[in-house]
């Protein structure tokens, strides 16, 4: 029994660290991609590729952090939430976790395609810039499509179901549950073309959500460890 409890506590602790990582890497990506590199506002394909080649190490590193490693962190967090929100025979959290795993897989694939493509195109650019630009346009479209650039359907569905599950199980307070549901709804409706801009609000809302769930998991893990140590001390006495 203690082994099962310890395993759950360890998973929740990992989930807490994964959530904090998610918040930090979101902020980092926003600052570098949107502010420093101004990537979305570069409309000319040749200018965009030139910027990527000039900042190749920075761009590739950030893609590893914000897509590949974030996808792996998402897997850990989704399982931690699945274990925590125990609805017994309900399929809600199973479906929610499946959405999270699919989302994580696509994000990892997007990051890998983008990074590998950037390396290949940079080599081609040295001898044939026009061909490199054409190739990069195809790579960028593929990577962007996998990462749901025009909406956050899978992330939204995951958060929506997690929020409903937490509300039903009462594992977390209502404020957290309603916040999760609200962010999830933003993500789902952001796939509609007139509402694509809500994807940005989904991302910002997730930063606070990651910090919130990270604090919850890490605080509970610390409290459970202190409680366990106290019980062991009492037994010794």
Confidence of residue 1 (pLDDT cuts 50, 70, 90): very low
Contacts of 56 (CB under 8 A, 6+ apart): 118, 119, 122
Pair of tokens at residue 17: 């660290």
Q: What is the pLDDT of residues 4-33, one digit of tens each?
A: 455 678 999 999 999 999 999 999 999 998
Q: Which pLDDT does position 6 carry in this prediction?
A: 59
Q: What is the pLDDT of residues 168-205, one digit of tens each?
A: 998 899 999 999 999 999 999 999 999 999 999 999 99
- What SS3 string covers the chain? CHHHHHHHHHHHHHHHHHHHHHHHHHHHHHHHHHHHCCHHHCCCHHHHHHHHHHCHHHHHHHHHHHHHHHHHHHHHHHHHHHHHCCCCCCCHHHHHHHHHHHHHHHHHHHHHHHHHHHHHHHHHHCCCHHHHHHHHHHHHHHHHHHCCCCCCHHHHHHHHHHHHHHHHHCCCCHHHHHHHHHHHHHHHHCCCHHHCCHHHHHHHHHHHHHHHHHHHHHHHHHHHHHHHHHHHHHHHC
Q: What is the pLDDT of residues 71-92, one digit of tens each?
A: 999 999 999 999 999 877 679 9
Contacts of 177 (CB under 8 A, 6+ apart): 163, 164, 166, 167
Q: What is the pLDDT of residues 126-173, one digit of tens each?
A: 999 999 999 999 999 999 999 887 889 999 999 999 999 999 998 899
Angle at 8 between CA 232 and CA 180, to 5 degrees: 130
């Amino acid at each position: 029994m203690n082994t099962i409890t310890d395993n759950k506590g360890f998973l929740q602790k990992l989930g807490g660290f994964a959530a904090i990582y998610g918040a930090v890497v979101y902020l980092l990506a926003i600052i570098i991609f949107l502010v420093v590199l101004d990537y979305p506002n570069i409309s000319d394909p040749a200018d965009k590729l030139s910027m990527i080649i000039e900042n190749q190490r920075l761009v590739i590193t950030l893609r590893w952090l914000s897509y590949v490693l974030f996808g792996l962190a998402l897997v850990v967090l989704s399982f931690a939430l699945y274990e925590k929100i125990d609805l017994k025979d309900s399929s809600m959290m199973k479906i929610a976790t499946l959405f999270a795993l699919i989302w994580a897989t696509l994000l990892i694939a997007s990051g890998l395609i983008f990074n590998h493509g950037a390396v290949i195109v940079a080599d081609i650019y040295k001898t044939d810039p026009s061909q490199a630009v054409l190739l990069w346009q195809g790579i960028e479209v593929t990577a962007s499509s996998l990462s749901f650039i025009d909406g956050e359907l899978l992330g939204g569905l995951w958060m929506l179901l997690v929020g409903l599950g937490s509300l039903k199980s009462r594992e977390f307070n209502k404020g957290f549950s309603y916040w999760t549901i609200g962010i999830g709804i933003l993500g789902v409706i952001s796939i509609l073309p007139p509402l694509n801009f809500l994807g940005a609000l989904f991302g910002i809302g997730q930063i606070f959500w990651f910090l919130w769930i990270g604090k919850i998991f890490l605080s509970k893990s610390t409290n459970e460890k202190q409680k366990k140590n106290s019980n062991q001390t009492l037994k010794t006495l």
